[in-house]
């Protein structure tokens, strides 16, 4: 397993246990800990650091290239074979070891023999099969789930068990041990209800993609049920199912928007069609409709929660979108279930591709202009005294050059090309044209941001244009800085 994959799994466990290194509750003082399959040694190092008076023994076939502290011992040993030491431990810990264990009963027996009376054994692992949580999703249609089923079959032919933690659980009771089990369901993307869940989902996706690239072909090697080309084709379809389908959906939505604007009934018509039919003819449209449905269910869940006893939210300084809409001064009709679901849908689409592209553009322009990069590094070095901590937004927003770089990236990228109409309450006079009140009026934002009459040399990336120092000049530029539109149509992403 690669260092990147191991790091992803380590972060997943830390998030799952709210920053703790293990799920088990341990006494303040224990004498010894055994780490089975230590990998890169990061867990053992962290455990040794957090418990300096505890002896930590870490075993693996290949030992990590680290300098252990005095209380950490690295032992080359195969956890799948009889161990060459007789030590007893207060706590035995193992994680993601399914790929290396053939004899689970033997491993568990060795753990039992090496536990002190009252000691604890904790095993963390991934349990297959993969599957969708939603009952209305056909698992057989997903390449991701097909890959999981095929991998499990090939794994079993090599004497390995993807479901070992589940199948061996019952055996513990026969030893007279007190058993505790916790299951955690992780999504492969960032659609979870909680911030922690979204982080776990993103890390799960990253770790799976790395694992699939490194171990995918090995899993299917010498499997008589698969042709030579089958593994590569299945991995390609799986990668598209997990990642590329997301962008395909976004692009499909962007291309369909002009048509839906003119014929809004088409979307309502598609929503009434059976999901299977829509998916057959247009998988991208089916994913858009599914996202609509997901947002509708989440909004309904939030509204239902408002009728239950209120929970303490003082520890959450950033309320969710539904809460902001529901507690706003908007008329009741504009705080309906349908409105909130639509806002959630828009927030996901508007906050994904746009943000990614702006960051991509900013990175390119900064690297392509060394003088911009050097000045940015100097400003950040002076502002960030402790590099182990991410500076707050309040600190970063006061950095003039960083702010100028961001504004220039927003200006020159000019991502928003769709016209956002406004209705003026009064008559507008533009040159010799008189525009009646409440006439839909709009223009393309990109034409403003790259207009030669507003910006000198508009095609050049020049953050310095925002730091000219002349108040009049600054006011003129700010007047034409409209990447988020203006007034009632201003994008919430500006905050």
Average pLDDT, the chain: 78
d(C-alpha 276, C-alpha 283), whole Å: 9
Q: Cα dist. 399→175, 360, 386, 453 in Å?
A: 62, 21, 16, 28
- Is 3.40.47.10 the CATH classification of the domain at 3-184? no
* Residues in contact with 128: Cβ distance below 8 Å, sequence separation at least 6, in sequence order: 148, 151, 152, 162, 163
The predicted structure's pLDDT at residue 3: 40
Q: Kindly list the domain boundaries of the chain, sorted by start residue.
A: 3-184, 263-350, 353-494
What is the arithmetic mean of pLDDT over 281-302? 80
Q: pLDDT band at residue 2, thresholds of 50, 70 and 90? A: very low
216-273: pLDDT as tens digits: 666 666 667 766 666 677 777 777 666 655 666 676 676 677 777 777 777 778 878 8
d(C-alpha 357, C-alpha 362), whole Å: 8
Does residue 491 have a known ligand-binding role? Answer: yes
Instruction: For 218-241, give the DSSP string.
Output: HHHTT-TTS-SSHHHHHHHHHHII
- 115/309: higher pLDDT: 115
The predicted structure's pLDDT at residue 49: 92
Cross-strand partners of 57: 34, 73
Do 353-494 and 3-184 have the same topology in CATH? no
pLDDT score of 6 more than 60: no
- 240/403: higher pLDDT: 403
Cis before 129 (ω within 30)? yes
Chain-centroid distance of CA 38 in Å reads 26
Continuous H helices in 78-187: 104-113, 143-157, 164-167, 169-173
The predicted structure's pLDDT at residue 15: 72
Cross-strand partners of 434: 429
- 339/317: higher pLDDT: 339
pLDDT score of 7 more than 60: no
d(C-alpha 225, C-alpha 310), whole Å: 55
The predicted structure's pLDDT at residue 52: 94
pTM for the whole structure: 0.52
- Is 1.20.140.10 the CATH classification of the domain at 353-494? no
Instruction: For 452-493, give the DSSP string.
Output: TTTSSSTTS--GGGGG---HHHHHHHHHH--TT--GGG--GG
pLDDT score of 139 more than 90: no
Neighbours of 466 (CB within 10 A): 20
452-488: pLDDT as tens digits: 888 889 999 999 989 876 544 555 788 888 887 766 5
The predicted structure's pLDDT at residue 134: 60
- 362/353: higher pLDDT: 362
């Amino acid at each position: 397993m690669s260092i990147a994959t191991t790091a992803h799994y380590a972060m997943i466990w830390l998030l799952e246990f709210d920053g703790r290194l293990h799920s088990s509750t341990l006494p303040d003082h224990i004498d010894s800990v055994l780490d089975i399959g230590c990998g890169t040694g990061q867990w053992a190092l962290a455990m040794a650091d957090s418990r300096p008076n505890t002896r930590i023994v870490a075993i693996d076939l290949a030992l990590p290239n680290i300098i252990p502290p005095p209380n950490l011992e690295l032992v080359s040993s195969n956890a799948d074979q009889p161990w060459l030491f007789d030590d007893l431990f207060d706590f035995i810990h193992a994680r993601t070891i399914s790929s290396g264990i053939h004899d689970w009963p033997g491993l568990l027996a060795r753990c039992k023999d090496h536990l002190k009376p009252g000691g604890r054994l904790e095993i963390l692992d991934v349990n297959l099969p993969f599957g969708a949580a939603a009952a209305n999703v056909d698992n057989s249609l997903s390449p991701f789930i097909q890959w999981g089923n095929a991998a499990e079959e090939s794994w079993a032919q090599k004497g390995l068990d993807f479901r070992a933690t589940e199948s061996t659980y019952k055996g513990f009771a026969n030893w007279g041990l007190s058993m505790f089990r916790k299951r955690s369901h992780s999504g492969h993307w960032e659609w979870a209800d909680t911030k922690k869940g979204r982080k776990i989902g993103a890390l799960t996706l990253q770790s799976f993609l790395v694992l699939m690239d490194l171990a995918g072909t090995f899993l299917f090697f010498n499997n008589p049920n698969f042709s030579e080309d089958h593994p590569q084709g299945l991995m390609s379809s799986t990668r598209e199912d997990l990642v590329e389908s997301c962008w395909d959906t976004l692009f499909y939505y962007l291309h369909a928007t002009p048509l839906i604007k003119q014929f809004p009934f088409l979307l309502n018509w598609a929503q009434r069609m059976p999901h299977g039919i829509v998916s057959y003819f247009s998988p991208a449209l089916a994913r858009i409709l599914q996202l609509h449905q997901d947002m509708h269910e989440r909004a309904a869940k939030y509204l239902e929660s408002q009728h239950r006893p209120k929970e303490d939210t003082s520890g959450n300084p950033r309320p969710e979108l539904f809460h902001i809409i529901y507690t706003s001064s908007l008329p009741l009709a504009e705080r309906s279930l349908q409105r909130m679901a639509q806002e959630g849908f828009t927030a996901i689409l508007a906050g994904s591709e746009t943000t990614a592209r702006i960051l991509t553009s900013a990175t390119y322009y900064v690297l392509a202009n060394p003088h911009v990069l050097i000045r940015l590094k100097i400003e950040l070095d002076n502002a960030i005294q402790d590099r182990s901590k991410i500076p707050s937004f309040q600190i970063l927003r006061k950095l003039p050059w960083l702010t100028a770089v961001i504004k220039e990236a927003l200006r020159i990228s000019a991502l928003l090309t769709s016209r956002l109409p406004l209705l003026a309450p009064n008559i507008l006079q533009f040159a010799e044209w008189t525009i009646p009140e409440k006439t839909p009026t709009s223009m393309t934002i990109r034409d403003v941001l790259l207009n030669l009459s507003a910006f000198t040399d508009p095609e050049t990336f020049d953050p310095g244009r925002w730091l000219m120092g002349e108040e009049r000049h600054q006011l003129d530029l700010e007047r034409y800085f409209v990447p988020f539109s203006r007034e009632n149509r201003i994008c919430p992403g500006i905050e």
